[in-house]
Structure 1
């Protein structure tokens, strides 16, 4: 089972240029695919922000999408990244209800629950809401990814 990947510019709902996108099956192997494909496609854009931080946040959001996405029929996770002015924005779309996305502050001895906490700590901003594909989108933004 291969993931479906796109590495070409596209146009999102608002007409902004999508630098890259991938559509992944909701299986654990998709987390490493998301990391690998993002690194591959973002490299040519020479971002000034930490690619490692972005990869970590994508890992966490794709993991959450796989663990908590819910649909009656077969479904996929979609990851998109785009330039918005000087910022890099990454969106992770999955089925399920936006209201179920919440920031937790887990205790030191808890094994899980740090995904959005990490995003909150590393990103300049993040949000969750309804996806244009139906379901939920969780996005993070890295300001000054392109300083000039």
Structure 2
């Protein structure tokens, strides 16, 4: 796992958008649409497709593995830190439960965090300020200088 030394805290950077999603599969394409809607006009220099894939993987994981005794939601927010893009996905699961798996060639699931690891400059897992878990990724040089 890569470590985001810059920190995934709200005090860092400018928030570009946020949304709250129901923990259901339909939330994954909704997250992609809204991210594109809010970030596309800002002129990203990095791959929008890579960002959308990473968001899809993290929101899918949050929907599939988030657990709470009461009704809950997934929260997604994205930030600009200088020239870097940071995306945070929050769910009520336990941070210790987030880990990369080693799927076999026949496994249908289990590659999400590996994709995030390959496509991002860094990623991290931390307790969410809303309770539960926050999984974040950072893409450096996301905007032209």
Contact 2:72 2:92 in 1 (8 A): yes
Structure 1: gaps of 5 or more residues? 1-11
**How many positions carry a matched residue from both structures?**
137
In structure 2, the residue matched to 1:25 is 22
Distance 1:30 1:19, change over 3 A: same
Within the candidate set 36, 39, 48, 1:42 is matched to: 39
Which aligned runs of 4 or more in structure 1 are off by greater than 6 angstroms? Answer: none
Q: Does 1:53 align with 2:66?
A: no
Normalised to the residue count of structure 1, the TM-score between the two structures is 0.89
Structure 2: gaps of 5 or more residues? 1-8
Of the two structures, which has the highest relative contact order with CA contacts closer than 8 Å and spacing of 6 or more? 2
Q: Does 1:90 align with 2:87?
A: yes
Q: Distance in 2 between matches of 1:13 and 1:118?
A: 25
In structure 1, the residue matched to 2:132 is 135
